[in-house]
Structure 1
Amino acid sequence: MPNSSYLIGLLFSILFFFTSTFVKAQLLWEISGNNLKQKSYLFGTVHVGDERVIDYASNVYPYMDNSLTVAGELDLNFMTSILAIGYIMSPSDSTLSKLLTKEEYQEIKPYLAENIGQLAPFLDMVRPIFIMAMLQEKEQEKLAQSANTTKENATIEKFPALDMYLQNRARKNEQKVIGLETVKEQMTALNSTPINKQARELYNYIVEKNKAKQNLDVQDSLNIEIDVAVIEENDTTLVELKNSPNPMETLISLYLSENIELLHNQISGEFEKESYQSLIIRRNIVMVKRMEEQMKKELTKEDKKSKKNIIFAAVGAGHLGGEEGMVNLLKEAGYTLTPIFFNKKEKIKK
């Protein structure tokens, strides 16, 4: 699977992939020990707003709602969005039309117009990595709509990405919301991939999508022919037509199953060493440091009396696992991390 299939995860972080070599299938961790007076929690998210993901996250509400502070990778507020714009826009000498050949740019313009709509004319000024994120989001919306067309009186509820959804809940509960990274820190990491390489990945992604659509059209024609064909009684040939797997849907399925080890194996071969250091390892170190600052703060008498958790940190699950993941970094710092297993999985929507 090409690297471009995973670029959606780079909009807020490497949000869509997560690794673990310690406890199989676990996303929520209790943090205690190391002279902490009250507990804290670390939760792995996936940065999409799929209804199944939102439903699954309800498992963590008892832990999150009882916390003094809720942290994300970023504090996802209006000002954060404004500050991020400067990092999303391409330099004037490195717009998409200048990074690709004239022929290549003209080749992908119809796809961008079809899938992005009215914003398509402005995409030339946006860094390719964020164009990819927009395309993947639109693709997931179409999949959700398609899945609901067979349901009687079906309505599609639009959810924000899980990270935003949890922060909105925390604000409604009048909890303190913070970011474990600054906008500059995160956006600098996301843009560590050279912009010319981003453009090439985007171009290859769209070319692959166009080819897949053409193949699907051919398959539809074959299906029609097969339906009207006279099949001899002794013909045992099985005709099986499979669509190419959608990386976003695969991600959601793996997230809901909490199959962290499989995801780790899948992603380990996708990143170049320097990209992995920039996008995952260095950020893990920063976020653990910021968590420790919160956990070690002197609590007020009121906070001590409340017995509430100090901090509930919800970050992309890709930051949890591995030898240099946040779980292991916290262990190495002297904390005790205990996995929390949910008991509501039978209620998760498939």
Structure 2
Amino acid sequence: MISNSKTIYTRALLFVLAVTFTQYALAQKKIAVENSVFWEVTGNGLSQPSYLFGTFHLLSHRYVDSLTNVTNKFTTAKTIVSELLIDSTMTMKMMASAQMKGTTLNKLLTPEQFKQTNDWLHELSGYDLTMFNGMNPMTIEILLMTMMQQKYFPLDPGQDVVMDLYFQQRGTRDKKQVIGLETFDEQTHAIFGQFTYERQAQLLTTAVKKRNTAEEELRNMNRFYREGNLGKLEALMYDEMYTAAETAVMLDNRNKKWMQQLPGLFKQQPTFVAVGAMHLAGENGLVTLLRKEGYTVKPIQTK
């Protein structure tokens, strides 16, 4: 049973550590960005267009395959860009990054908070929180989110590949250049490292308190993503409790760092960038940042 719990945990982290939580993107200032998850990048000296595609990290490659214009443009690209490259060392790295030192969940949470979290986890998965007692609270929040998605929008572990990993695998298969914009350590710092264990526990308990509305929010999130409605995704999650400084680490600073790489990649050859959809939105989103650099970035149809 322990090995099964590790399999579930690893799958959850593969879904999410490859990209940042959708909710992390939403404490930024609003700016008028059109509603689309697919964008064409031209101008500023580019001889051929490149593309930005906003992913939803818990959806299957089969959804991607239904987006005919996305897959057609993917074939024209010579370079495929993801947030993070997933390789054979990822599982052990993820397990290590999630382990706490010097404390456990039952010490960070009150008995009531531990029970409430355990009850929700058990309801969603059949597993008890004691099996994950050494893992940090943010990992538990990720696990709960992933289990909810699996309950209401299930993937077949024998057939489905989450879309971010799928783009990487297909790019490798098609002999394209496949690169990641950041390292594992950089991404896990944004998700885990910047938060104290106490702050993570606060965020987890807040999420658990909202469990009665979680299903509706999840269904709306899936629907708004499929509609390509970035504005409604932002509005849905705008009440998250991350501070401006936390959001800067989780989102804004990462986007700005990626902007040090993307123009050079676009100039070299046609590039297909697949990153979390909320990285495209807002004042510090990639669409706005590219436009400020002189590129023409226009929304295009996914089908």
Specify the alignment match of 1:71 in structure 2: 81
The more displaced of 126-135 and 42-51 is 42-51
What is the DSSP-based 3-state SS (H/G/I as helix, E as strand, rest coil) of the residue aligned with 1:47?
coil
Which runs of 5 or more residues in structure 1 are unaligned? 1-7, 149-154, 213-242, 298-308, 345-350
Confirm whether residue 320 of structure 1 aligns to residue 280 of structure 2.
yes
**Structure 1 residue 118 displacement after superposition:** 5.8
Counterpart contact for 2:19–2:84, Cα < 8 Å: no
Specify the alignment match of 1:142 in structure 2: 151
Counterpart contact for 1:21–1:261, Cα < 8 Å: no
What code does the residue aligned with 2:227 have?
Answer: S
1:213-224 matched pairs, under 5 angstroms: none
The Cα offsets for residues 244-277 of structure 1, whole Å up to 9 and x where unpaired, read as: 7432221110001111122223334424211221
Q: Separation in 2 of the partners of 1:285 and 1:21? A: 16
**Identical pairs, percent:** 28
The more displaced of 158-167 and 16-25 is 16-25
Confirm whether residue 292 of structure 1 aligns to residue 263 of structure 2.
yes
2:22 aligned to which of 16, 24, 40: 16
TM-score (norm 2): 0.81
What is the DSSP-based 3-state SS (H/G/I as helix, E as strand, rest coil) of the residue aligned with 1:125?
coil
* Corresponding residue pairs, total: 285
**Structure 1 residue 59 displacement after superposition:** 3.4
1:27-176 matched pairs, under 5 angstroms: 27-50=37-60, 53-90=63-100, 92-106=101-115, 108-117=117-126, 120-144=129-153, 158-176=159-177
The Cα offsets for residues 154-202 of structure 1, whole Å up to 9 and x where unpaired, read as: x997523221122222222222211111111111111223321222332
1:310 aligned to which of 270, 273, 284: 270
What is the DSSP-based 3-state SS (H/G/I as helix, E as strand, rest coil) of the residue aligned with 1:97?
helix
Q: 1:57 to 1:290 in 2, by over 3 A?
A: farther
Q: 1:126 to 1:76 in 2, by over 3 A?
A: same
**Structure 1 residue 39 displacement after superposition:** 2.3
Q: Separation in 1 of the partners of 2:195 and 2:187? A: 13
Specify the alignment match of 1:280 in structure 2: 251
Q: 1:208 to 1:320 in 2, by over 3 A?
A: closer
What code does the residue aligned with 1:163 have?
Answer: D
Specify the alignment match of 2:184 in structure 1: 183
Q: 1:142 to 1:332 in 2, by over 3 A?
A: same
Counterpart contact for 1:15–1:46, Cα < 8 Å: no
Counterpart contact for 1:48–1:160, Cα < 8 Å: no
What code does the residue aligned with 2:152 have?
Answer: L
Pair member with larger Rg? 1
Which runs of 5 or more residues in structure 2 are unaligned? 1-12
Q: Separation in 2 of the partners of 1:103 and 1:340? A: 49
Counterpart contact for 1:128–1:202, Cα < 8 Å: yes
Q: Separation in 2 of the partners of 1:318 and 1:113? A: 30
Q: Separation in 1 of the partners of 2:284 and 2:49? A: 22
Q: 1:194 to 1:58 in 2, by over 3 A?
A: farther
Q: Separation in 2 of the partners of 1:88 and 1:316? A: 21
Specify the alignment match of 2:301 in structure 1: 341
Specify the alignment match of 1:199 in structure 2: 201
TM-score (norm 1): 0.71
**Structure 1 residue 296 displacement after superposition:** 3.8
Counterpart contact for 2:64–2:70, Cα < 8 Å: no
Q: Separation in 1 of the partners of 2:149 and 2:39? A: 29
Counterpart contact for 2:33–2:281, Cα < 8 Å: no
What is the DSSP-based 3-state SS (H/G/I as helix, E as strand, rest coil) of the residue aligned with 2:270?
strand
Q: Separation in 2 of the partners of 1:52 and 1:23? A: 27
